[in-house]
Amino acid sequence: MTVPSVGDTAARSLAHWSEAGRREMEAFYALARLDYELLAGVLDWRELLTGVASGGPPPRLLDVACGSGKFPEALVRHAGLDGLGPVTYDLLDPSPFSLREAAAALRHPFVAGDRSESTLEGLAAEAGPWDVVWATHALYALEPANLGAAIARFRAASAAGGVSFLAQGAADSFYLKVYAAFLEGVRDGAGTQYVASDDLIAELRAQGARPAVRRIGYDHVVAARDTAVLEGYLQRCVFDDTIALAELLEAPVLGPYISTCLDAAAGVYRFHQEVDCVVLRADAGSVSWTAAS
């Protein structure tokens, strides 16, 4: 596994996927759980998973940068998977903490399979292929120099006739804009900006893929008085829990940007997300987005 540069985005992200980062992680998901609930509605996942099974052995699925397993949780709760046959669910993440968390979150029809402690670009060439490969809000800390290799490995991981799915915040999404403001105002411009969906889609097309893309927009909403959730959410967005909420709100560039998200009349912050959902399959024209997306 390639070790990220000490102190930069990838290294700080990896450090926060740990037991020590649980407080901010739970505060973050008080809002960000919505990301995965909405993704559960963009495609007919039951039809998709049934289609790749084709009456053979249980389909294999790879969750890239699996995090804490919030996407499979959302699918079980919201995607109507009751009665579906088993799906072997393999996990990929450079964090041992994430591999344990995601495995513990799996429920029927998902059955825990192999675990690979690796980055996407470091995934062994002989591993796979999988019937379904997805990476949901997973590749923000990907080092730009590794973008081409990571996308090539993502594409190669899918079996013939398989389906690949990406969901990532766009350049004008809060996730990307708040991190850019953090780097400029708190880190004096030093550091690597998050990878946007725009970057992933451009690289897919540069490699000859024909991605089907659907964008969804929505807000994370938190009461301004709910300072514990607000602080943990913002700390997780920038992967820095050494800066208290008051400092975040007063920091140059960052503080003024966050203030633009405050709906003072309603007493809430609205953090607007623009997320691209991307499907790759042999027949690009066969993608059927749901009305909800």
Residue 155 lies in a domain: yes
Q: Which domain holds residue 55?
A: 9-171+190-219+273-281
CB 204 within 8 A of CB 265: no
- CATH, residue 53: 3.40.50.150
Count of domains forming the chain: 1
Residue 51, domain member (yes or no): yes
290 inside domain:
no
Tokens of 118: 């690796």
In a domain, 263, yes or no: no
Say if residues 240 and 182 touch (Cβ distance below 8 Å): yes
Do the domain assignments include residue 124? yes
- Give the CA angle between residues 9, 10, 11 to the nearest 5°: 95
Specify if 33 maps to a domain.
yes
Q: Is 239 left (phi over 0), alpha (psi -120 to 50) or beta?
A: left
Give 93-157 as a DSSP string: ES-HHHHHHHHHH--TTEEEEEEEES-STTS-TTS--EEEEEEES--TT--GGGHHHHHHHHHHT
pLDDT tens digit at each of 293 positions of the chain: 333 343 589 898 988 888 888 999 999 999 999 999 999 999 999 999 988 876 677 899 999 999 999 999 999 999 999 989 999 999 999 999 999 999 999 999 999 999 999 999 999 999 999 999 999 999 999 999 999 999 999 999 999 889 999 999 999 999 999 999 999 999 998 899 999 999 999 999 999 999 999 999 999 999 999 999 999 999 999 999 999 999 999 999 999 999 999 999 999 999 999 999 999 997 655 677 786 65
246 lies in a domain? no
Find where tokens 């919030």 sit: 70
- Asked if residue 38 belongs to a domain, the reply is yes
